[in-house]
A and B are shown apart, each in its own frame.
Chain A
């Protein structure tokens, strides 16, 4: 497959940056936290054991640090055609402010904060940086996640 030498224009970058996703809201269920902790192989009682978690600092079961990924925040839509079918996750930066507790109502909104391109071994790659804000029912930001996706 041949890819163009360059794809993004300044105009496209301006169009894309600031684009927001539809918000996604979920209620954090106990089963979802325990399933997630088991799937990552983390046996920490604060993520697994309701009774022990009750005696912990947070007073209840909380989600492991990357649990919020399971909310499946919607990626903001790129406002132009992207002729790249493949996808790679390049990394994430998380800032944590409040624990995510069982029963919390979490709303996730994503916003494109940067888009750039680079040529590499696998051809032309488009780097899309999205800031996802996860807020709880008290309008507190529980966490911010900056995620970088590569389309190629």
Chain B
């Protein structure tokens, strides 16, 4: 518990109360059904209301600053996203020295562009070639390189993708319209530690005269996860 010097004296945040969650007690750990127990209480309300109720409760108790929540949401909606990664890729395509640095130490090379923070602590860039195609997954949860790609799309977090990307990568790729010939080597990277992988797609043909901004516009999020070729 946080140390405190004051006492809550605000009125009850929610008239009538609203159940947020049924805590699992230690002796319940082996039970498989705590979500279904009524314990004589109202069932939990829908998720949007429960989140709102928890936020109210934590704000009332002084455990979170609502303005900090606003700032965090703003950060993930506006400051990170796949355009960051696209800039990394376009620079690697345009600047051979940068490409060399990126392949040698992706964390530092990405940091050069100002992209740092949680879920980007240890970056590795893997490069697609005419004969090698890379695909990134996290089978155990949904690890994803937030500073360069933002938050993952729903499909990346889905049971379908997490289960199939390692056993049937070519089938998954085909569902994205990416059909690889049998001679191409598929390298799947299962993000089981704090290493995060960024796929450097092959530079499309007929882009010789383009600058970094024009190239960056060609780079897609799926291309940097590996479910698409550009």
Q: Is this pair of chains taken from one and the same complex?
A: no
Residues of B within 8 A of A (CB): none
Residues of A within 8 A of B (CB): none
